[in-house]
């Protein structure tokens, strides 16, 4: 009887503590947007959307404004140039974003409401935000700048920043006082050194003072573009630099697309295509039609993903109509799995594979991808065995594991090929991570697989230089591991461009490259049809390392601590690219993230 009473009492205590925990945490709300250092969108009803009554302002404090159209007379009676005022406003905004964006805060309204917002005090980790901001060197109260010493440091930093106005729509950049830059609707402020590749100077403002232009160039530490194509022996590898392509197109102007068209044009007997889906790229469509005319046998395996408007890739019917045989996985017994491969075999001799979807965003270089062409009948034979299984109607876990050699030596390169979900690919990747002793660099769409994140943390703890870049859109992915990895001390950036960081890659110790179609996820490992290449070659690894380090420098260091929305002014080009970057059905100015 006593045991039952003790058990009941213990349960009551646990329930009471849990209830108190829930009550305490229900008082906290996520900061969804930082409009200015003193104005925030806070998710008061916890529905993950910004509602009209959820804009909160901090009372009794002023700060510097980054509004390029605000004049001195609108501002404060201090003897600053507009450039100083705007750049200080930019830095103050960065300060607030680093402190509060995506954090959970307690909101205490003070009973004052304006047409723009509700005035309230904000607490983060039991610290009053207003108190913190008053000490930041950006705060103005009763007509005085507080913390003069810190302010002087901020002013020096501002004058070394070299901000410009970037017009997303025209991809032109302007000086802060340029009348054409100030009237641009789709514009952001950005440090010169972080301008996207291909951005052009406004002729009006940058031709006025060539000396100033040269001075900015000399101080900007502009980052040289890496080489994007590398060949060694029977292997050629391609990378795409999405900082140069802020809109997708179907023009086939990238090296990858031209190389693919060339392979189609050279095909004599067969083209076996296993891809997630196909957008109509005229150069590829024309080449496939010509191949069909000259008697090349085309076979096609693709995914059956459907949307209310029809197939996700509406070009699938183009290849299906040319194919001698085709199939998708719609009859699979595993409806939550996808045929996610991206490989094509030409004449049973050459394999084209990698992370690139055969879409406008993939083939135009709008996304970051890497692809590889392998010239080997033995490698092609292995891929064809996998292809034949799917063509026969066996997908996902319905397939059989291939009992064939999957390790190949091509000159100085060793290749290992694995197919999900039967080959337990992640086990092979973890073996390599465990052996690493110098560095592991990862440009990847996402990381959600526990075993991989745990092993990366272990590598970091033993002194391996682990660095990760993830796609901005992955922040809301279920089981995403970025918080765990950052908490463990691993430097992790989110990319800030319109296109997807779509590669699924690791570069390890100037020795190994892991690449292919498989995301580092449970679905990639255990559900989907995928192919992964583990390549061992010093030259390839060093070249890919250089490309990773280029991306690392291009992406601002502030995204080591912060996340950002895939569709927002911070995501360069995303508000003018005509793409639904965050898959919410809204594009550009119609998306909340791009509304002004």
User: Facing residues of 441 across strands?
Assistant: 467, 507
pLDDT the model gives residue 223 = 64
Q: Can you give the pLDDT at residue 10?
A: 54
- As given in the structure block, the two tokens for residue 323 are 């194919």
CA dist., res. 355 & res. 365, Å (int): 12
CATH class of 229-560: alpha beta
Q: What is the pLDDT of residue 290?
A: 97
* 402 and 286 Cβ atoms separated by less than 8 Å: no
How confident is the model at residue 196, as a pLDDT? 77
Phi/psi for 320 (5° steps) reads -60, -40
Q: Could you read off the pLDDT tens digit of each residue along the chain, which spans 596 residues?
A: 555 555 555 555 544 443 333 334 458 998 988 888 999 989 998 887 788 788 999 999 989 888 877 655 444 445 678 888 888 888 998 898 888 888 899 999 998 888 888 999 999 888 899 999 999 999 988 878 888 888 888 888 888 888 888 887 777 888 888 877 777 766 788 888 778 777 888 877 866 455 444 444 444 445 667 889 999 999 999 999 998 888 999 999 999 999 999 999 999 999 999 999 999 999 999 999 999 999 999 999 999 875 544 457 889 999 999 999 999 999 998 988 999 999 999 999 999 999 999 999 999 999 999 999 999 999 999 999 999 999 999 999 999 999 999 999 999 999 999 999 999 999 999 999 999 999 999 999 999 999 999 999 999 999 999 999 999 999 888 899 999 999 999 999 999 999 999 999 999 999 999 999 999 999 999 999 999 999 999 999 999 999 999 999 999 998 998 898 898 888 888 888 889 888 888 888 788 778 65
**Of 430, 433, 388, 424, whose CA–CA distance to 406 is shortest?**
424
Give the pair of three-digit tokens for residue 337: 């799995």
516: Cβ contacts below 8 Å, ≥ 6 apart: 353, 354, 355, 504, 530, 531, 532, 533
DSSP label at residue 396: G
**Contact call for residues 252 and 258 (beta carbons, < 8 A):** yes
In 499-569, beta strands by DSSP E? 506-508, 512-516, 530-536
Find out if CATH 1.10.3720.10 is the number for domain 26-159. no
CA–chain centroid gap for 278, Å, is 22
Give the separation between CA 28 and CA 21, rounded to whole angstroms.
11
What pLDDT is recorded for position 340?
97
pTM over the 0.95 mark: no
Q: Name the residue ranges covered by the structural domains of the chain.
A: 26-159, 163-222, 229-560
């Amino acid at each position: 009887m006593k045991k039952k009473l003790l058990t009941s009492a213990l349960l009551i205590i646990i329930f009471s503590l849990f209830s108190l925990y829930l009550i305490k945490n229900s008082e906290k709300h996520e900061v969804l947007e930082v409009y200015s250092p003193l104005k925030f969108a806070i998710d008061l009803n916890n529905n993950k959307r910004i509602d009209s009554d959820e804009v909160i302002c901090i009372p009794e404090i002023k700060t510097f404004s980054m509004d390029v159209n605000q004049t001195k007379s609108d501002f404060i009676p201090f003897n600053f140039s507009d450039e100083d005022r705007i750049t200080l406003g930019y830095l103050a905004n960065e300060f607030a974003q680093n402190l509060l964006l995506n954090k959970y805060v307690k909101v205490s309204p003070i009973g004052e409401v304006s047409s723009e917002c509700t005035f309230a005090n904000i607490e983060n980790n039991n610290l009053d935000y207003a108190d913190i901001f008053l000490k930041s060197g950006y705060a103005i109260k009763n007509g005085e700048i507080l913390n003069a010493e810190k302010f002087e440091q901020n002013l020096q930093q501002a004058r070394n920043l070299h901000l410009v106005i970037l017009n997303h729509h025209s991809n032109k950049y302007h000086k802060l006082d340029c009348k054409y830059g100030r009237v641009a609707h789709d514009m952001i402020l950005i440090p010169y050194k972080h301008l996207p590749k291909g951005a052009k100077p406004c002729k009006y403002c940058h031709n006025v003072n060539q000396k100033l232009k040269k001075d900015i160039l000399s101080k900007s530490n502009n980052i040289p573009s890496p080489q994007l194509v590398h060949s060694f022996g029977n292997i050629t590898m391609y990378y795409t630099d999405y900082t140069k392509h802020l809109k997708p197109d179907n023009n086939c102007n990238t090296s990858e697309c031209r190389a693919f068209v060339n392979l189609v044009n050279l095909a004599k007997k067969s083209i076996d295509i296993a891809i997630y889906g196909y957008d109509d790229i005229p150069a590829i469509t024309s080449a496939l039609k010509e191949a069909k005319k000259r008697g090349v046998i085309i076979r096609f395996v693709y995914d059956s993903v459907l949307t209310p408007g029809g197939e996700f890739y509406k070009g699938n019917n183009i290849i299906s109509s040319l194919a001698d045989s085709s199939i998708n996985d719609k009859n699979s017994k595993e409806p939550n799995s996808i045929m996610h491969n991206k490989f094509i075999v030409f004449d049973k001799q050459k394999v084209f594979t990698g992370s690139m979807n055969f879409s406008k965003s993939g083939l135009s270089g709008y996304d970051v991808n890497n692809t590889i062409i392998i010239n080997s009948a033995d490698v092609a034979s292995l891929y064809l065995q996998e292809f034949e299984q799917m063509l026969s109607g066996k997908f996902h876990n319905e397939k059989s594991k291939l009992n064939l050699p999957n390790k190949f030596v091509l000159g100085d390169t060793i290749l290992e090929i694995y197919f999900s979900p039967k080959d337990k690919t992640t086990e092979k990747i973890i073996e390599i991570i465990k052996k690493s002793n110098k560095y592991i660099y990862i440009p990847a769409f996402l990381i959600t697989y526990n075993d991989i994140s745990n092993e990366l943390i272990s590598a970091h703890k033993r002194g391996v230089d682990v660095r990760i870049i993830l796609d901005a859109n992955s922040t809301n992915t279920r089981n995403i591991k970025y918080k765990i990895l950052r908490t463990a001390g691993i430097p992790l950036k989110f990319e800030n461009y319109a296109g997807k960081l779509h590669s699924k890659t690791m570069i390890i110790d100037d020795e190994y490259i892991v690449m292919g179609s498989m995301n580092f996820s449970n679905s990639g490992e255990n559900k989907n049809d995928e192919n992964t290449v583990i390549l061992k070659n010093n030259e390839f690894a060093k070249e890919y390392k250089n490309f990773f380090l280029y991306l690392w420098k291009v992406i601002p260091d502030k995204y080591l601590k912060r996340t950002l929305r895939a569709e927002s002014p911070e995501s360069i080009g995303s508000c003018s690219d005509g793409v639904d970057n965050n898959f919410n059905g809204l594009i550009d100015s119609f998306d909340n993230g791009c509304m002004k």
